[in-house]
Chains A and B, each alone.
Chain A
Amino acid sequence: MASTASALIPCGQFKTEYRKDTTIFPTPMSRGFAIAAVLLLCIAPLQIGGVELLSPYQLNILIQIGYYGIAALGLNILVGFTGQISLGHAAFFGFGAFASAWLNNDFGVPVFWAIPLAGLMTTVVGMLFGIPAARIKGLYLAIATFAAQFILEDFFARADWFTGGSSGTIAQSFSIFGFAITGDRQYFYVVLAYMVVLFLLGANLLRSRDGRAFVAVRDHYLSAEIMGINLTKYRVLSFGVAAFYAGVGGALFGHYLSFVSAESFTILLSIQFLGMIIIGGLGSVMGTLMGTAFMVLLPEVVQAFSQTAGNVFPALTDGIAFLKEGAIGLAIVLFLIFEPDGLAHRWKMIKAYWKLYPFSY
């Protein structure tokens, strides 16, 4: 992909060991920026002297980027790193949300433990639906996961004991050591903590043996098999990892909204997840975050635009729900035609431009 831009390393960075070449953050600068960003997010929900740094609306958007981003990273590990295609990610996301609520409501598991447990339950389901991946790939796999989406959607509507059927189920709010987390401002930290941990794990996965096996399977599966990589194992494992991320993201989503219903997890959400990683950049951890932010902000921008333009063209405000849907579809198509490598690639180009400025040619 973007080999030219990513190969640019600032002056004075001399790597003398292989270990230094595979660190999560390539330069001390980038590590510093990442830590600064997390610290900045830590103070974001605070009120200083009675003044809110972020409005509840902005906070809500950040939380959305958090839980969708976690699930999207899972999908990126599956699609971007392992080269499998899944059109049923929303079903796993939904399964995590229902599983966490179910563990909490029916077995009294505290929410703190229910979220990772829901992730593990989703892993099992994901590996189950990943079994076809052992035999089929590419297009056929896309169609199989497409079918899995509809089957799981139907399961959600039917399994009253698990999901509360068509009426949905209640999810309790998060609590830690008897201290109940109430309101967006406190929940923000929960999502942030999960996000930092899971993104670091995701980035770290690529440096591990398993992560390199995933990439080998993507790049050339026959060569990978000849090198002794067990294709079936890694394909199914990749589905499992993706489902784990989706399950945790879904559980966070469920406990945030405190109500889970099957209508939230349609094929549209699956398409949105794929849109996030395509717009962000396949196979890029940072890009996943950018793509998620783009996908969460897009409907808000469309809404703001159609409200201002609505005075002149009333038709725009009437069809706002459809405009949002259409904008998602259009964004995916335009990105695939004009920027197939996603925002992460664009970001690298911009950085490279400034690094070489004024001799950027």
Chain B
Amino acid sequence: MNTDLLIQLVVNGLIIGTLYGVVAMCFVLIYKSTQIVNFAQGEFLLIGAWTCWWLLTTWQVPFWLGFPLTLVFMAVFGIALQVIVLRPLIGEPIISVIMVTVGLSLFFQAMMKWMFGVFAQPYPEVFGTKAMNVLGLNVQTPYIMSMAISLLIMVGFAWFFKFSRFGLAMRATAFNQQVAQSLGISVKSVFAMAWAISAVVSALAGVVVGMVNGVSSALSFFGIKVFPVVILGGLDSIVGAIVGGLIIGVLENVAEFVDSQYLNWGNLYTVVPFYALILILMIKPYGLFGTKQIERI
């Protein structure tokens, strides 16, 4: 048994898992506050990464300026999306809400491919050396950065929802929209804000992944991987999203290890999360931390 490889893969899994966790957190944020399942979450990563790439290469904007500009753009984009597309759909049946985000995902992906091509584009170097040696393990610098950024985002989220006025308003809205509205909370702006935050944080994750692997439409696959993560963690639990992200990240890489060492099936790595998803739905549909829906007649 190749222990070194296993440890390396588990570490990779943890790193990628924190990124899954961050994207899943954005997904949960939207679901919790607006009851919309966002199938276009991966496209947020894609659009963010491409916008930043475009600013840095075509316009030669320095990173310290281009990055915040991207985030501002994504905030506006998220709000616009909520106001134009999703506000008319409030109160529609669930199939409509699902299909509208699926349609958006298809549309944005096609537009991004049209504008920027289908090939992966490398990011300009932002952080000096490419790989670092941590405790005998080979870890790429942007990955360490991504881990740090992800942890920062998670702490930020925790602070935002526990202490900030707006975060409390969002939690109140998630708990009960009508009561929140009667207490003077503008539910409309909470909805818009949820989409803005989700878009911004996803774009952040997109830029980080883009720095490591280059930007390409493969980035939107994060939006698909998010489903096993949130189902495992529970659809409406922020903590669940993080825990689920870590578990799925490690699971994927362990599957890769088993596959490459013993089975030689080829792409077990990509499908294992979906087998896990079906299994969880059969055993524990509300995930590890999700609230159980109780229906009253």
Contacts and interface: CB of A to CB of B under 8 A. Distances in A.
6 interchain residue pairs of minimum CB distance: A329-B106, A329-B107, A332-B103, A326-B110, A319-B114, A325-B110
Nearest to A333: B103
Nearest to A270: B102
A139 B285 contact: no
B258 to A, nearest CB: 16
Given A151-B271, A154-B267, A329-B104, A139 B94 contact: yes
Given A144-B278, A325-B106, A336 B94 contact: no
A168 interface: no
A138 interface: yes
A336 B281 contact: no
A268 B107 CA distance: 11
B275 interface: yes
B265 interface: yes
A242 B266 CA distance: 32
Interface in B178-197: none
B278 A326 contact: no
Interface string B77-112: 000000001001100101110111011111111110
Given A85-B95, A333-B85, A151 B278 contact: yes
Given A336-B96, A340-B92, A322 B106 contact: no
B227 A336 contact: no
B114 A271 contact: no
Interface stretch (A95-103, A183-191, A274-282): A274-282
Contacts of B297: 222
Interface of A, secondary structure class, is helix
A340 B100 CA distance: 11
B85, B95, B282 interface centre (most CB from chain A within 10 Å): B95
B228 A322 contact: no
B102 A326 contact: no
Given A332-B103, A333-B107, A85 B94 contact: yes
Contacts of B164: none
Interface of B: 37, 85, 88-89, 92, 94-96, 98-100, 102-111, 113-114, 224, 227-228, 231, 235, 265-267, 270-271, 274-275, 277-278, 281-282, 285, 295, 297
29 contacts: A140-B281, A142-B37, A143-B231, A147-B228, A147-B277, A150-B274, A154-B270, A154-B271, A158-B266, A222-B295, A268-B106, A271-B103, A271-B106, A274-B99, A274-B102, A282-B95, A323-B114, A324-B110, A325-B109, A328-B103, A329-B103, A329-B110, A330-B107, A333-B103, A336-B89, A336-B92, A337-B88, A337-B100, A340-B96
Interface in A102-156: 132, 135-136, 138-140, 142-144, 146-148, 150-151, 154
Contact of B111 (A268, A271, A274, A322): A322
A144 B95 contact: no
Interface of A: 79, 85, 87, 132, 135-136, 138-140, 142-144, 146-148, 150-151, 154, 157-158, 222, 268, 271, 274-275, 278, 282, 319, 322-326, 328-333, 336-337, 340
A337 B102 contact: no
Contact of B100 (A222, A324, A332): A332
A132, A138, A139, A147 interface centre (most CB from chain B within 10 Å): A147
Contact of B110 (A157, A274, A323): A323
B270 to A, nearest CB: 7
A136 B279 CA distance: 12
Nearest to A155: B271
B88, B94, B99, B277 interface centre (most CB from chain A within 10 Å): B99
B109 A146 contact: no
A142 B277 contact: no
A158 B94 contact: no
A152 to B, nearest CB: 10
Contacts of B102: 87, 271, 274, 329, 332
B107 A148 contact: no
A21 to B, nearest CB: 27
B90 to A, nearest CB: 12
A104 B100 CA distance: 40
A336 B110 contact: no
Nearest to B275: A151
B103 A85 contact: no
A326 B227 contact: no
B37 A336 contact: no
Given A323-B114, A336-B96, A340-B92, A136 B281 contact: yes
Nearest to A272: B106
Given A154-B267, A322-B113, A326-B111, A142 B85 contact: no
Contacts of B270: 150, 154
B227 A329 contact: no
B165 to A, nearest CB: 31
Contacts of A323: 110, 114
Contacts of B108: 329
Contacts of A79: 95
Contacts of B295: 222
Nearest to A79: B95
